[in-house]
Amino acid sequence: MPAVWPDLPDPGDRPLIVVAETASSFEAQIIRAWAKAQSVTPAGILEVPSMRRRFGRRRVSRRAEARFLRGDNPLIVPVRIAWTVPERDGRRAVRPLDLLASLGDPRDPDPIRQRWIHRRNPDRCQIVIAEPATADEIIERWRDSAEAWRLGEYAAHLAWIGLERAERQLRGNRYKVARFVPDTITRQGAYLDGIAHLAEDADWPFELVAARTKRYLKEIAANHSTLVIDLVAHLIHLLYTQGYQDIDYDQDRVRDIYSAADRSALVFLPSHKSQLDRLVMQYILWENDLPPSHTAGGININFWPVGPLVRRSGVFFIRRSFKENEPYKFALKSYLRYLLSRRFPIEWFLEGGRSRTGKLRAPSYGMLSYIVAAFKEGATESMRFVPVSISYDQLFDVGDYATEARGGGKQSESIGYVIAAVRRLKRRHGRVYIRFGEPMEFERSGIDEMDPDSLDVAKLAFEVMHRINEATPITPTALACLVMLDDPKATDPTDLTARAAPLVRHIEHRGFPIAAPLGQEDDMATVLLRLREHEIVAPVMNGMAPVAGQELALAFYKNTMIHHLLPCALAQMADALPEDTDEVAAELRDLLKFDFFFAGREAFLDDVRSIDLGQLEEWFPRLVLLPFLEGYLAAVDTVVSDPDADDRACLGRASDMLADGAISRAEAVSLPMMRAALQLVDHLGLREDREAATETLARLTELITVAHRPAPKPAPSDVPVAGQ
């Protein structure tokens, strides 16, 4: 049936000008006929080229500018044609078949297909009207904008933006994306002033710095395409459903977070364990008809065909190193400031790279300091950081991580890497879990004292990481792996469930977040089956047992939950030693600070003091601390013998100590463990102070002895009952 087209607004006693954005002569013909039916003469129509076409064809004629300046203050009404997809079940959503049938974006047909659609499916041809404004209002905004536009260009730019906003009412919010980004930024007065300062400081010509910085902007900026947004969303769904049942998240929580987007700039800060992380985040936003995030990605993934696809679906690329490149830094800061000022959601991985251990990595501060600086400079009045935990029942990357942790090389990103990853996804991996931590709200008045180059940013980053940890759910896989690593004997679902029962009671008692019900025999059977399929455990005479050499794969899953158990481990360890418990707890906090995130000293001590030791059925120092203490022992022992030892020398020593029985946990023989241990060594100055190194070695030996204790045996009346 024919579309019901809207009427033009009543201009009152002033002239009316239709600013028609047209992509073809046929679109112009439709708009002229529609306007004529409402008594608009050809002189009352100004045509501007479509924003769907390349920039070279978006030049605005001088006639438009002259018409604005005539002095009769006409009402300006932007209009365009919106081509929609067929309606199915009350929705007009693009499906892969639509893309194939149209040989491109069905919402941007070529002139021949436009005529065919208009004739055969006229309901797919809609006229969209943007919010009108008078010429005087537009001229006043132009004069106040401090941007280097000609009046005609500025008016057309406003029309394009207004029409995008109006068309989203028809098509959906998932297509709210930034347009004309480099061109808009490079016309801003503050940007041009910054270029002038850069040129003066470097003693370079202004034109050279401007051209170089604009080139960097184009290299960095995402370049959204509505076609690619839909195409990639369907590809993501096809990809993750190869190995995962579904994405487990709270839709109401997502919508609640986005409800603040009109008044606050949203900054999503997810954990990073897999290349799937960004994809599943993108998909849940698309699934809920929410705008895509502008996500920072490493330049290492900008290879064909992945790079062009992800850039058009929302990724902006950042070089790994640009410390001395001031024009590049300025371009990146300008881009982030622009996104904040327009309240486009921003997303990046605060850890800087994927965790190879299951624990959160130490945060990187560069992007965070740029965001804080842009906020302080007035990019937006309100900002909201949203910590996000992304976790998995099982992860296809774990085998690679274990290889790297044992000292193997990192596989570089390439099309071959992508193909291999897709093949591995065809195994069963369970579910993906996305949980949102408590957002952090910032108003300009509350952040003015924060220095982007000071410890304030580090404290902010650590608070985000703490909130991610708090939101991270415990999975059945993590629980099973913790139990198996503590005693890697043969097990079956019944035995594993029984051995996990004290931990399940503790988790329920403490109210830790869980991904799924824990301690059920059927779930343990499923975990063992998946671990076997991934060759992490193997059948033996009495059930299943970890495969030799796969301890680091098991440790990855275990490490996703141990931060929840850490306070109990520290409380038990502090209580078991003869010194003052607060002093021991503080000592352990300092010892482990390169592997874990802690609250401030007093809050940390309050948490440790709150632990009811009599209720604990497990000896948590053995479950949680022992691998780290043994790893540190190996590193310090290496440095005592060779003060110049690097991480690989420490790894070799740890391997020898495991073989000799000097340490007991294969998890300790890990390159990431050695790197954290050497951070501790350097922090304590042990390379230069042999006496201090020897004392540290003795203290670690003492702590390891305490950590080896068996589980306590509370009286039956003291044992909490599961579910109570």
Q: Quote the CA–CA distance of 347 and 316 in Å, as a whole number.
A: 10
45-54, 369-378, 423-432, 476-485 — which is least confidently predicted?
A: 45-54
Sign of CA dihedral 471, 474, 477, 482: positive
pLDDT digits (tens, 9 = 90+) for 409-455: 776 666 776 777 777 888 889 999 999 999 999 886 556 566 666 67
pLDDT digits (tens, 9 = 90+) for 544-576: 999 999 999 999 999 999 999 999 999 999 999
Tell me, yes or no, whether 701 and 572 share the same domain: yes
64-73, 89-98, 403-412, 464-473 — which is least confidently predicted?
A: 89-98
What would the two tokens of residue 613 be?
């030791």
pLDDT at 66: 83
pLDDT at 170: 85
98-102, 359-363, 609-613 — which is least confidently predicted?
A: 98-102
Residues 6+ apart with CB under 8 A from 281: 268, 270, 293, 295, 347, 388, 390, 434
Whether residue 555 is contained in a domain is answered as no
Which DSSP letter does residue 382 get?
E
Whether residue 493 is contained in a domain is answered as no
| Mean pLDDT computed over every residue of the chain | 90
Tell me, yes or no, whether 593 and 666 share the same domain: yes
Q: Is the pLDDT of residue 724 over 60?
A: no
Task: Report CA Rg, the chain.
Answer: 30
Stretch (H or E) spanning 707: helix 690-707
Tell me, yes or no, whether 459 and 325 share the same domain: yes
pLDDT at 58: 55
Q: Which residues of 188-217 are buried (b: 16+ CB within 10 A; e: fewer)?
A: beebeebbeebbeeeeeeeeebbebbbebb
- Residue 264's alpha-carbon distances to 123, 144, 445, 460, in angstroms, are 37, 23, 14, 18
Tell me, yes or no, whether 200 and 158 share the same domain: no
Rounded to the nearest 5°, which phi and psi values hold at 550? -105, 15
pLDDT at 54: 46
138-152, 382-396, 660-674 — which is least confidently predicted?
A: 138-152
Q: Is the pLDDT of residue 715 over 90?
A: no
Task: Find the mean pLDDT for residues 492-498.
Answer: 96
Closest listed residue to residue 184, CA positions, set 216, 213, 148: 148
What would the two tokens of residue 154 be?
């500025």
pLDDT at 721: 41
- Amino acid letter, 464: V
pLDDT at 723: 40
Tell me, yes or no, whether 304 and 451 share the same domain: yes
Tell me, yes or no, whether 164 and 27 share the same domain: yes
Tell me, yes or no, whether 267 and 143 share the same domain: no
Task: Find the mean pLDDT for residues 71-81.
Answer: 94
pLDDT above 90 covers a percentage of the chain that reads 67
Q: Quote the CA–CA distance of 334 and 82 in Å, as a whole number.
A: 32
pLDDT band per the 50, 70, 90 thresholds, residue 533: very high
pLDDT band per the 50, 70, 90 thresholds, residue 638: very high
pLDDT at 453: 66
CA–chain centroid gap for 517, Å, is: 27
Tell me, yes or no, whether 446 and 315 share the same domain: yes
Number of domains in the chain: 3
Contact yes or no for 321/310 (Cβ under 8 A) = no
pLDDT above 70 covers a percentage of the chain that reads 93
What would the two tokens of residue 158 be?
């406003």
Tell me, yes or no, whether 204 and 154 share the same domain: no
pLDDT band per the 50, 70, 90 thresholds, residue 178: confident
418-427, 539-548, 643-652 — which is least confidently predicted?
A: 418-427
pLDDT band per the 50, 70, 90 thresholds, residue 307: confident
**Domain membership of residue 328 as a residue range:** 196-350+361-394+429-471
pLDDT band per the 50, 70, 90 thresholds, residue 717: very low
DSSP string, 504-541: HHHHHHHT--BSS--S-HHHHHHHHHHHHHTTSEEEET
Q: Which residues of 627-647 are buried (b: 16+ CB within 10 A; e: fewer)?
A: bbbbbbbbbbbbbbeeeebeb
The last residue of a domain, from among 471, 502, 531: 471
pLDDT digits (tens, 9 = 90+) for 272-295: 999 899 999 999 999 999 999 999
Give the number of other CB atoms < 10 A from CB of residue 260. 16
Whether residue 541 is contained in a domain is answered as no
Q: Is the pLDDT of residue 69 over 90?
A: no
Contact yes or no for 333/371 (Cβ under 8 A) = no
Whether residue 1 is contained in a domain is answered as no
pLDDT digits (tens, 9 = 90+) for 221-265: 999 888 889 889 989 999 999 999 999 999 999 999 998 887 899
Q: Is the pLDDT of residue 43 over 90?
A: no
pLDDT digits (tens, 9 = 90+) for 689-701: 999 999 999 999 9
pLDDT digits (tens, 9 = 90+) for 119-140: 998 989 999 999 999 999 999 9
Task: Find the mean pLDDT for residues 330-344.
Answer: 95
Whether residue 118 is contained in a domain is answered as yes
Whether residue 340 is contained in a domain is answered as yes
pLDDT band per the 50, 70, 90 thresholds, residue 183: confident
Tell me, yes or no, whether 151 and 226 share the same domain: no
CATH of residue 285's domain is 3.40.1130
What would the two tokens of residue 190 be?
């503050």
Whether residue 414 is contained in a domain is answered as no
Tell me, yes or no, whether 243 and 388 share the same domain: yes
Tell me, yes or no, whether 146 and 200 share the same domain: no
Task: Find the mean pLDDT for residues 488-495.
Answer: 94
Q: Quote the CA–CA distance of 268 and 286 in Å, as a whole number.
A: 15
Give the number of other CB atoms < 10 A from CB of residue 601. 13
DSSP string, 554-579: HHHHHHTTHHHHHHHHHHHHHHHSSS
Whether residue 111 is contained in a domain is answered as yes
